[in-house]
Amino acid sequence: MTRLRGTILAAAVPLLLISACAQTAGNSAAASPDARDSSAAPYPQGLVLRVESFGGFVPPEHNLGRLPAVSIYADGRMISEGPTTAIYPGPALPNLLEQMLTPEMVQDLVKKGQEAGVRNGADFGSPNIADAPSTRVVAGDQSVSVVALSEAQASDPNLTTAQRTARNKLAAYVKTLESLSGAPGVAAPVAYVPDSVAALVRSYVDPQGEEPKSPEIAWPGPTLPGPEMNPGLGIGCVDVTGPATAKVLTSAKTATTSTPWTAGGAKWSITFRPLLPEEKSCAALKGVR
């Protein structure tokens, strides 16, 4: 979003931006804020707000399969990660929740994002810390990526006073977005049911010493392992779409992150990445840092 001058323009631009996104998508929101009517037209897919992490010292499949913490769309739909059970191995499917925000809330959050420093080219510095993830924040048509937003020390010598102040403001805004699920005026959450899923596939390696073993499950979807993702990772990706989506999701509900999936006489490990409204296939995950 271009730099705003004057209080009238500052108030008007978020509204115009959100209206433009909705018009571009060419669809209207579902009538009920609490549930999606499957017979209704698809939601508008203009992304307005997002918080996501990337990079850091994690396995490649974790980065490729990582979901944004919060995504908010032009129609007010919010998709976020809900709580998970602290057990190992964890469930195969992430706990994604869908809620609705009012247009006024979305407009206000876009405005507050700008006030918190979400502007293209903003300077947040580079702290003296290795292997930390970066946080990307989108607000309207502006975005920033900040290395070690929550990990950097307040006294980091590589950061100026202005950079520390900017980081604190942005971190507080991120916390606000990540806490919206229980905020007043936000509709009660329902499970997000994706239209398609990216299955990130790699050869199964028996986790030595793990007890109890996760039972095998026959893979009900398209042929594994699929085309390789980023070169050298040894990770394929399969687009699960159409009728296969329901079959795969049903099987995955009983699986864990350690489940061996059997197909073609081989065993596979699968990371399930539900695709968000603007994501259509595995191609959306290629090049993820």
CATH number of 45's domain = 3.30.1560
Note whether residue 160 is domain-resident.
yes
Q: In this structure, are 178 and 198 located in the same domain?
A: no
Note whether residue 2 is domain-resident.
no
Q: In this structure, are 145 and 233 located in the same domain?
A: no
Note whether residue 158 is domain-resident.
yes
Q: Which residues contact 264 (CB under 8 A, 6 or more apart)?
A: 223, 224
Q: In this structure, are 118 and 84 located in the same domain?
A: yes
Q: Between β-strands 217-218 and 142-147, what pairing exists: parallel, antiparallel or unpaired?
A: unpaired
Domain closes at, from 158, 182, 206: 182
Q: How far is CA 73 from CA 93, 100, 283, in A?
A: 23, 9, 21
Count, in order, helices (H) and strands (E) of the chain.
5, 12
Name residue, tokens 């905020």.
183
DSSP state letters, 231-260: TTS--EEEEE-THHHHHHHHHHTT-BTTPP
pTM here is 0.81
Quick one: which of 83, 276, 78 has its CA closest to 177? 78
Structural domain that includes position 127:
7-182
Note whether residue 187 is domain-resident.
no
- How far apart, in whole angstroms, are the C-alpha atoms of residue 47 and residue 25? 10
Q: In this structure, are 158 and 16 located in the same domain?
A: yes
Q: In this structure, are 46 and 148 located in the same domain?
A: yes
Q: In this structure, are 199 and 159 located in the same domain?
A: no
Domain closes at, from 156, 182, 208: 182
- How far apart, in whole angstroms, are the C-alpha atoms of residue 254 and residue 269? 15
Q: In this structure, are 171 and 202 located in the same domain?
A: no
Domain count for the chain:
2
- How far apart, in whole angstroms, are the C-alpha atoms of residue 44 and residue 26? 7
Q: In this structure, are 172 and 241 located in the same domain?
A: no
Note whether residue 45 is domain-resident.
yes
Domain closes at, from 160, 182, 204: 182
Q: In this structure, are 48 and 176 located in the same domain?
A: yes
Q: In this structure, are 221 and 93 located in the same domain?
A: no
Q: What is the pLDDT along the chain (289 residues), one digit of tens a residue?
A: 333 333 333 333 333 344 444 333 333 333 233 333 332 333 345 999 999 999 888 888 888 899 999 999 999 999 999 988 888 889 999 999 999 999 999 999 999 999 999 999 999 999 999 899 999 999 999 999 999 999 999 899 999 999 999 999 999 999 999 999 989 989 999 999 999 999 999 999 988 776 678 899 999 999 999 999 988 889 999 999 999 999 999 999 999 999 999 999 999 999 999 999 999 999 999 755 4
Q: In this structure, are 141 and 227 located in the same domain?
A: no
Note whether residue 64 is domain-resident.
yes
Q: In this structure, are 167 and 144 located in the same domain?
A: yes
Note whether residue 188 is domain-resident.
no
